[in-house]
Amino acid sequence: MSEPELFSCLCVTENRPAFVHWFLWAFDRQTWPCKELVIVDSSDVPIETTRSDVRVIRADAGTLVSRKRNVALEMARGKFIAWFDDDDWSHPERLRWLAEAMMADASMAGATRAWFVDLWGSGCRRYFGGDRLVFNTAGFRADVARSAVFDETLRKGSDTIWMRQLERRHAASVRTIPSDSLTLWLCHDQNLSNPRSSRTFPVPLSRLESLIGPASARAQPRPGSRARRFAWSRRAATAERRRSAARDGDCTAFVDCKYRGRSGKPFSSLQIAVRLFFA
């Protein structure tokens, strides 16, 4: 049996240290066995790592997202490419489903639906993209991804233009994956395109978790990880204790912990992930 192709997961970020554990968690839990994470970072305090499967490329502070995306494309080593924005959630099978589509006959693949999730609340909203792939769900053959460039004059919206160029050029080999849970967008006050204040979230998170399955929303500790279980009441779980836990333990500890609200009922795995990574 041949070795699986390398899948490059690309992330661009600046001054969002609270999200580092989150997107590393999203990357680590992917079931595709051969993958790398390429981070183009323009933060004042750069991300540091000694991991062999994670590369950090430094960019000047204030570098536009569009420029950093072009750098990430240049640095990717894989045959396949997917974007992992620092505030997205990805289904654990996302890379595998995308790779299978592209190993068949697709030049790019993804879903036309996704979800917005309120970072500070307990609700979400479904998104329908019509017949067009959602950028954050998609995967691309590397040669296809590099056939277009991001417009480096744009502060935001360059991803939409880039996607439409690829879809027009490769329309015959675009494949749609019938899922609305490949990617979730976390909506917060620092979003460039989807700020929390711009929409309402009428659907309970519990409904979304029932669609993706609790196992997909929960991280499993890797062998040898330092994951520990925390049993906190909501009142006692101060922001400082949460931050200390983030520094001291593996991020999987948050999603595997026992966390109870005022009603005494445990939060769903997805609520735990959202609340404890960023509170």
* DSSP codes of every residue in 91-160: -TTHHHHHHHHHHHT-SEEE-SEEEEEETTSSEEEEEE-TTS--GGG-EEEHHHHTTS---TT-SS-HHH
Q: What is the pTM of this model?
A: 0.80
Q: DSSP character for 191?
A: -
Q: Give me the mean pLDDT over the 167-172 stretch.
A: 95
- C-alpha span between 192 and 22 (Å, rounded): 18
Confidence of residue 213 (pLDDT cuts 50, 70, 90): confident
Residue 127: pLDDT over 90: yes
pLDDT at 225: 33
- C-alpha span between 161 and 153 (Å, rounded): 12
Residue 4: pLDDT over 60: yes
User: Percent of the chain having pLDDT more than 90?
Assistant: 54
Q: Give me the mean pLDDT over the 182-201 stretch.
A: 83
pLDDT at 274: 54
Residue 252: pLDDT over 80: no
- C-alpha span between 217 and 201 (Å, rounded): 19
Confidence of residue 60 (pLDDT cuts 50, 70, 90): very high
CATH among 3.30.60.50, 3.90.550.10, 3.90.1560.10, 3.20.20.30 for 7-111+134-183: 3.90.550.10
Q: Is 127 buried (19+), middle (13-18) or exposed (0-12) by CB count in 10 A? A: middle
- Span of 66-75, 171-180, 254-263 with lowest mean pLDDT: 254-263
Helix (H) or strand (E) holding 231: strand 231-233
Q: Give me the mean pLDDT over the 182-203 stretch.
A: 84
pLDDT at 212: 79
pLDDT at 2: 78
The segment(s) of the chain belonging to CATH 3.90.550.10 are 7-111+134-183
Helix (H, G, I), strand (E, B) or coil at 201: coil
Residue 130: pLDDT over 50: yes
pLDDT at 273: 53
- C-alpha span between 41 and 54 (Å, rounded): 12
Helices of type H across the chain: 20-28, 65-75, 94-104, 142-145, 158-169, 205-212, 214-217, 239-248, 252-255, 269-278
Strands 113-118 and 123-128: antiparallel
